Amino acid sequence: MFEEFKKFILRGNVVDLAVAVIIGAAFNQIVNSMVSDVITPLVGLIGGSHDFSGIKIGPVGIGKFINAVLNFLIVSSVVFFGIIKPMKKLNEIAAKKEAAKQQTEQQPTIPEDVKLLREILEELKKQKV
């Protein structure tokens, strides 16, 4: 039973998942700091206030909901424009480099003796004409 557990733990998928969770947690702090320390104060400068928790419609307090929606929109835009778009561009550049590399690798190099034989063949064809 211990061997089976050891085999499960040492599989690549489990280790990759653990690393992804750890990096995701650390990255969450970066995104939250970007939102709370940079973006939200800018929204507060433009809109006058960045805390809408006091807004009520009658007895229903919708301010916290508005804060949550704005926070979601800010976080998702930071992730999209700060991470997704640049990563997509980097992947496109890497794919172009890889395609160019594969194309050069696929072109066979012709040995010098074969080139010389082809030139001789061309000259013989010219002499027959």
pLDDT in tens, 46-99: 766 666 777 788 888 888 888 788 778 877 887 888 888 998 999 999 999 988
Residue-level pLDDT at 71 = 77
Cβ contact 63:56 at 8 Å: yes
Which segment, 18-22, 80-84, 105-109, 118-122, is predicted with the most confidence on average?
118-122
Residue-level pLDDT at 70 = 79
